[in-house]
Structure 1
């Protein structure tokens, strides 16, 4: 349970940090790259086995890890820019709901039974992301449409 709490805490704090980057005029790309360097140094310091630097280029997993590293930097940049432009709630919900894509992929790739409840859940998640991202024009008076969405 503690790991779940720490995961939720960390994923929430990252959006607050991205919002603060805008406030304090921090360069997003530089901050993310410095974060990766610190993460590398911490991992290297914590690793207790000897590292085979000469054979590193021969490992078959190296291109995939380099690709994932670049992809993570790009995604974190996009998350930071979106947080600064759209706000914390929109990005936070969209990130949490991004699990819909792997679930849909799993249904198709593994040829799982696409029960009605699974499809309704995926569609509801996508609709929820859309509804959270829509900007309110006048939020002082709720309309009748709001009550339908609550149901």
Structure 2
């Protein structure tokens, strides 16, 4: 884990502890890397509730309640899908804040509309509207996944400090 990711995870842990909030994650293209980063921090059991790794569309539907209609209409890599991943993570956890990520890390799988490096992020505090963002991240598979973890953590830190 990079020093930047460790620092972000530590800051998130401190912010969540101060709020007495629990976190849940719903990850696709990062395959649990965000969950791994936050659970690397000693004491994370006091603020990390659970992580959903929903790499396949079937897992998104079964574990998080993402609608097959949403997946058909918008695709797995869409803010619509990420919003439903957030809602599912909130519904199936005790978390106060959740984050969701779905993207195309490559090297294959991209299209003209959604090239490799397209990643959709979402963050939500229970009882508040979701915040979503779509970015085109540069680099190879490892670089895209690393940048996605950093962006997810930065967004989460912003959310946890805004209360």
Scaled by the length of structure 1, what TM-score is found? 0.23
Flag the structure with higher strand content.
2
Structure with larger RCO (C-alpha < 8 A, sep 6+): 1
Flag the structure with higher helix content.
1
Scaled by the length of structure 2, what TM-score is found? 0.22
